Amino acid sequence: MTATSAPEAQARPKRRPGDIVFGGLSTASAFSILLILAGVAIFLISEAVPVFGADPAEITGGEGFLSYVWPLVFGTLVASLVAMAVATPVAVGIALFVSHYAPTRVGTAVGFVIDLLAAVPSVVFGMWGFQVFAPKLVPLFIWLQEHLGFLPFFESASRTGRTLFTASLVLAVMILPIITAVSREVFLQTPTLHEEAALALGATKWEMIRTAVLPFGKPGVIGGTMLGLGRALGETMAVAIILSPGVFTWNLIDSGNTTVPAEIALNFPEAAGLRLSELIAAGLVLFGITLAVNLGARAIVNRRAEFSGAN
Amino acid sequence: MSKRIDVKNLDIFYGAFHAVKSVSMTIEPRSVTAFIGPSGCGKSTVLRTLNRMHEVIPGAYVTGEVLMDEKNLYAKDTDPVDVRRQVGMVFQRPNPFPTMSIRENVLAGVRLNSSKLSKSASDELVEQSLQGANLWSEVKDRLDRPGSGLSGGQQQRLCIARAIAVQPEVILMDEPCSALDPISTLAIEDLINELKSEYTVVIVTHNMQQAARVSDRTGFFNLEATGMPGELVEMDETAKIFSNPSKPATEDYISGRFG
Amino acid sequence: MSVDTAPKPRQRKLADIEGVEIDKVRASSNRQAYVVLAAAAAVAALLWLIGLNPALALVLGYAGYLVAVYTVYRAVAGKRVAADQVARGLVLGAFVVAVVPLLSLLYTVVVRGGATALDPAFLNQTMNGITGLQDQATQRDGAPLIGGAYHAIIGTLIITGIAAAISVPIGVFTAIFLVEYQPKGRVSQMIRFLVDVMTGIPSIVAGLFAFALWAVLFGIGTKNGFAGAVALSVLMISTVVRNSEEMLRIVPNELREAALALGVPKWRTIAKVVLPTAASGLASGVTLAIARVIGETAPLLVAVGYARGLNVDPSQGPMNTLAVYAYYMFTKPLSPGFREPSLDRAWAAALLLVLIVVVLNLTARLIAKAFAPKTGR
């Protein structure tokens, strides 16, 4: 942390009522964060508990909570990882475009547009994915089935385009701004000294980027990617609208599979009793996964400071 | 491995701003040429036009010619990338690549410029470049450690090793000692003295004693007022510039009356 | 420091060292790339005209461009410049790939929702009493669309407003705590860590939390506007804290010291000096935080439910919000046989949401720009 601290060394003024109130409010607010998080964990657990005591036969699927939840988790992970794999190279490309290729003004404008992309509500992405994007993918799916149908992922093709793969691609568009923003930030921070060092050795622009910019920005890009992954894991509405859900299958280009958040959103309004607990328990599992991913991401992003060669 | 540079009527612009006015000079091969002058007079700018590094700033351009052994660096059929391979540069602050080891730092330029590099060749290059930069004995046991772990002076010599590894014709140094302590400065100055046996060296310095110590010829740059373009006032044998300059402005600057 | 003094072996020339081959770069300009680009565009257009899928034609054209530009520059200027040009093509391609979906999305939203969103009936009516029969009449007989999103607009404002009223004080005071009271130390580290954790809470989990909390407090299945506001607050607080912390940090220390040196109590220094200096930044950060949650669907679906009519009492029963409204209209049309009117309503609601979000983002930017403190940087 930078040293912009309030000057502690100043002679402490007398404890006036104003100071007590103001200080108290600040401290209380800070600790309320702790309370809220504890509340999230406690209340979710308390509402999920009936699931773990229940007779496995009463759980959806009839074989207990674990066998109910793992296909959901699997679907979530596949959709998010595909989204991450698609989004990351594109995001790095855009970030480089903004930071090193486009003129400053164009770069700023593009940055703003990308930020807007981040602000579009997910339900709108879902509607767009369902109505515009999914039908456009059908020919691709048919082609994949015809030519790569021997792979389990492409066994049969959906005619509506409402598949896990479509959902993944829309997720990719949605997490693009996050990865782009973090990458752009670190790329812009590359010390001019190192860029000039590379150029002065006779590097082309791309060689300069490979020598100076990418190694410097790598931890940031990884961190941004994981933040994007965290967002994709928790993303609900786009998947809920686009995907035509079903039981677990390896096939990615037909209906089937679902994700934890979509399962909750689709079933919660009509759920009651044990089913409610089941969905909340699934939410708890999701929380655990995103928590792990986000903490990993933070750790990597924060470590960037030590990596940097800015002397 | 050293060439003569002729600068003819060089004008340097940043967009609409006329940074340096009509510079003409000759830089002799196998010698050290120093540029001195007050801040903002354009000496670093002129230096950076000698390897087309000023083009990195958007909107920068030049008119006039820079000839290296009669070949214009600004000719249409010359690529800045190729110019920079032939004209190496050392910067104000040591800038080894932080993610690379000492060895990889030395080889960075060679790796960029060559499609093939065998293990034995790279070993030889690392050793001879570090020898050439007077750094070999200090780092030969830790070639795989990060370059950023060295002291400032060692880092700067590592940067010189990196520059000479590609065997340029000319080495430009932009105030190479301004971030270093006196002992490291001395080491770099000794090194500059040795480098001139093989290279054409051009050095920008704020420090007049340094110019007097290391250079054979000195160019004095000045500007009439802020906002006006900088210009080359005079250029001559270093001894003459410091003892008997022909322009009063040079004498004022040398004797510490301004700057 | 020891400096080599021993006489050095003379350097061998690069050309004499075996195993090194220098690739010379020959001069080139971007002109050939533009020519190739034009040619690739022409080929793509041609493929499209002879009946190829336009997307496929574009992909083929782009791939063709990359191959051609590599070949051309390899011949003209060498391998390294060719790689440089391909990298440039890829970077520009990435940019286009990102812009295409955004444009398509904006286009769809505007075209599909534009007419309905401007319809006064849509803005002034609720869905009370509207059934599939009316939609049937609209789509089949051309009757005017009735039934709108008035209740959802009001609901969005109420719920987001309450969420902001909860999150902004907590968020800003937490930031004050982190910057002014405990700039270092374990407690702050822990709070920052928790804020990080909070940032990562999936929105649906926030909804589940509000639902579960309300179930414990008011009985299972209690859904109302306050629950939704709590869910949104969980998502919003972390954003407010992070943005505010950044803004307070920018306030130069000299200002604080000057005030404290005059004997101004700390809380008055914060209230009269620090906060006003950071005000525009704080406002901009809060606006962005609101923009982030105003389009949330999942948590409200879970915690607030769905109301067909106007409900302005956040403590009593389900309400509607634009995002949830769009979701329901889109996925559960009133009349499955005559979907168009419902879809029109959904797209209109989507357009309103996008407009709100864009306006909020622009506002945040303008505030930040117009009132930015002249110090700093």
| Interval C133-158: pLDDT, tens | 888 888 787 778 888 889 999 999 99
d(CA B41, CA B20): 8
- Digit-coded pLDDT (tens) for C79-96: 889 999 999 999 999 988
Neighbours of C143 (CB within 10 A): 13
The pLDDT assigned to B232 comes to 92
The pLDDT of A57-86, averaged and rounded, is 87
The pLDDT assigned to C338 comes to 83
What sign has the CA pseudo-torsion A110, A111, A116, A119?
A: positive
Tokens of C297: 């669907």
* Helix residue ranges, H only, C142-224: 150-176, 186-199, 203-218
Question: Exposed (0-12), middle (13-18) or buried (19+): which is A98, by Cβ within 10 Å?
Answer: buried
Per-residue confidence band for B148, with pLDDT thresholds at 50, 70 and 90: confident
Q: Are C93 and C85 in contact (CB under 8 A)?
A: no
Is any Cβ of chain C less than 8 angstroms from the Cβ of A187? no
Pseudo-torsion of CA A144, A146, A149, A155, nearest 10°?
A: 80
* B33 φ, ψ (degrees, to nearest 5): -110, 130
d(CA C202, CA A240): 14
Identify the CA nearest to A242 among candidates A148, A121, A140, A161: A161
Question: Exposed (0-12), middle (13-18) or buried (19+): which is A282, by Cβ within 10 Å?
Answer: buried
The pLDDT assigned to A15 comes to 66
The pLDDT assigned to A307 comes to 41
- Residue of chain A nearest B49, judged by CA positions: A200
Distances from the Cα of C161 to the Cαs of C115, C156, C205, C367, in angstroms? 28, 8, 21, 19
Per DSSP, the three-state class of B13 is strand
Chain C nearest CA to A138, separation (Å) = 12
Per-residue confidence band for A311, with pLDDT thresholds at 50, 70 and 90: very low
Report the half-sphere exposure of A188 (CA within 13 A, side-chain side): 16
Is any Cβ of chain C less than 8 angstroms from the Cβ of A16? yes
The pLDDT assigned to A5 comes to 44
Mean pLDDT of chain A: 85
- Digit-coded pLDDT (tens) for A156-201: 878 888 889 999 999 999 999 989 988 998 898 888 899 999 999 9
Distances from the Cα of B91 to the Cαs of B50, B100, B178, in angstroms? 14, 18, 10
Say whether domain C150-370 belongs to CATH 3.30.540.10: no
Tokens of C54: 């336009």
Q: What is the DSSP code (8-state) at residue B203?
A: E
More confident residue, C65 or A244: C65
The pLDDT assigned to C84 comes to 92
- Digit-coded pLDDT (tens) for C52-64: 888 888 889 999 9
pTM flag (> 0.90): no
d(CA B64, CA B71): 13
Contacts of A265 in chain C (CB under 8 A): 204, 297-298, 301-302
Mutate to test the interface with B, among C22, C76, C84 (most CBs of B within 10 A): C22
Residue A305, pLDDT above cutoff 70: no
Query: Please, what is the end-to-end C-alpha distance for chain A in angstroms?
Result: 17
Per DSSP, the three-state class of B146 is strand
Is any Cβ of chain C less than 8 angstroms from the Cβ of B55? no
d(CA C210, CA C204): 10
The pLDDT assigned to A12 comes to 52
d(CA B54, CA C52): 48
Domains of chain A in sequence order: 54-307 (1.10.3720.10)
Residue C2, pLDDT above cutoff 70: no
Per DSSP, the three-state class of B71 is strand
* B173 φ, ψ (degrees, to nearest 5): -130, 120
Identify the CA nearest to C299 among candidates C220, C232, C201: C232
- Domain segments of chain C: what residues? 24-113, 150-370
Chain A nearest CA to B152, separation (Å) = 10
Contacts of B114 in chain C (CB under 8 A): 20-23
Residue A95, pLDDT above cutoff 60: yes
d(CA C292, CA C285): 11
The pLDDT assigned to A14 comes to 57
Per-residue confidence band for C180, with pLDDT thresholds at 50, 70 and 90: confident
Mean pLDDT of chain B: 90
Identify the CA nearest to C368 among candidates C270, C279, C255, C253: C279
Question: Exposed (0-12), middle (13-18) or buried (19+): which is A97, by Cβ within 10 Å?
Answer: buried
Contacts of C104 in chain A (CB under 8 A): 128, 132-133
Per-residue confidence band for B235, with pLDDT thresholds at 50, 70 and 90: very high
Chain B nearest CA to C84, separation (Å) = 12
Tokens of A6: 């309030």
Q: Are C201 and A233 in contact (CB under 8 A)?
A: no
* β pairing state of B230-237 and B17-27: parallel
The pLDDT of C330-336, averaged and rounded, is 86
The pLDDT assigned to A47 comes to 85
Contacts of residues A117-120 at CB distance under 8 Å and 24 or more positions apart, as own/partner, are: A117/A173, A117/A176, A117/A177, A117/C98, A117/C102, A118/A177, A118/A178, A118/A181, A119/C291, A119/C292, A119/C295, A119/C357, A119/C358, A119/C360, A119/C361, A120/C105, A120/C295, A120/C354, A120/C357
Per-residue confidence band for C9, with pLDDT thresholds at 50, 70 and 90: low
Q: Are C40 and C64 in contact (CB under 8 A)?
A: yes
Q: Are A214 and A66 in contact (CB under 8 A)?
A: no
Residue C334, pLDDT above cutoff 50: yes
Distances from the Cα of C370 to the Cαs of A107, A112, B213, C255, in angstroms? 21, 17, 54, 21
Tokens of B157: 């010599």
The pLDDT of C19-37, averaged and rounded, is 82
Out of C88, C173, C294, the one facing A101 most closely (by C-beta) is C88
Tokens of B187: 């080491």
Distances from the Cα of A227 to the Cαs of A182, B167, C101, C128, in angstroms? 9, 45, 21, 42
- Digit-coded pLDDT (tens) for C267-287: 888 888 888 888 888 888 899
Q: In sequence order, what are the beta bridge partners of B217? A: B33, B237
- Digit-coded pLDDT (tens) for A230-277: 889 988 888 989 988 888 888 888 888 888 989 898 888 888 888 888
Distances from the Cα of B20 to the Cαs of A271, B205, B231, in angstroms? 77, 17, 6
ipTM given for this complex? 0.90
Is any Cβ of chain A less than 8 angstroms from the Cβ of C48? no
Residue A3, pLDDT above cutoff 60: no
The pLDDT assigned to C138 comes to 81
- Digit-coded pLDDT (tens) for B99-120: 899 999 999 988 888 878 888 8
The pLDDT assigned to C7 comes to 53
- Residue of chain A nearest C247, judged by CA positions: A4
d(CA B146, CA B163): 18
Identify the CA nearest to C138 among candidates C150, C151, C125: C125
The pLDDT assigned to B24 comes to 93
The pLDDT assigned to A9 comes to 45
% of residues, chain B, pLDDT over 70:
99
Out of B100, B148, B166, the one facing A201 most closely (by C-beta) is B166
Distances from the Cα of C326 to the Cαs of A19, A125, B41, C147, C169, in angstroms? 47, 12, 64, 13, 31
* B235 φ, ψ (degrees, to nearest 5): -145, 130
Identify the CA nearest to B172 among candidates B69, B257, B45, B39: B45
Residue A1, pLDDT above cutoff 50: no
Residue A128, pLDDT above cutoff 90: yes
Contacts of B93 in chain A (CB under 8 A): 193, 311
Residue with structure tokens 């602000």?
A: A119
Q: Are B166 and A202 in contact (CB under 8 A)?
A: yes
- Residue of chain C nearest A229, judged by CA positions: C200
Out of A193, A207, A215, the one facing B112 most closely (by C-beta) is A207
Residue B259, pLDDT above cutoff 80: no
The pLDDT assigned to C1 comes to 44
Chain B nearest CA to A301, separation (Å) = 16
Identity of residue A41: A
Is any Cβ of chain C less than 8 angstroms from the Cβ of A139? yes
Is any Cβ of chain A less than 8 angstroms from the Cβ of C54? no
- Digit-coded pLDDT (tens) for B21-30: 989 999 999 9
The pLDDT of B65-71, averaged and rounded, is 89
Residue C375, pLDDT above cutoff 60: no
The pLDDT assigned to C349 comes to 93
The pLDDT assigned to C208 comes to 92
More confident residue, A57 or A87: A87
The pLDDT assigned to B87 comes to 92
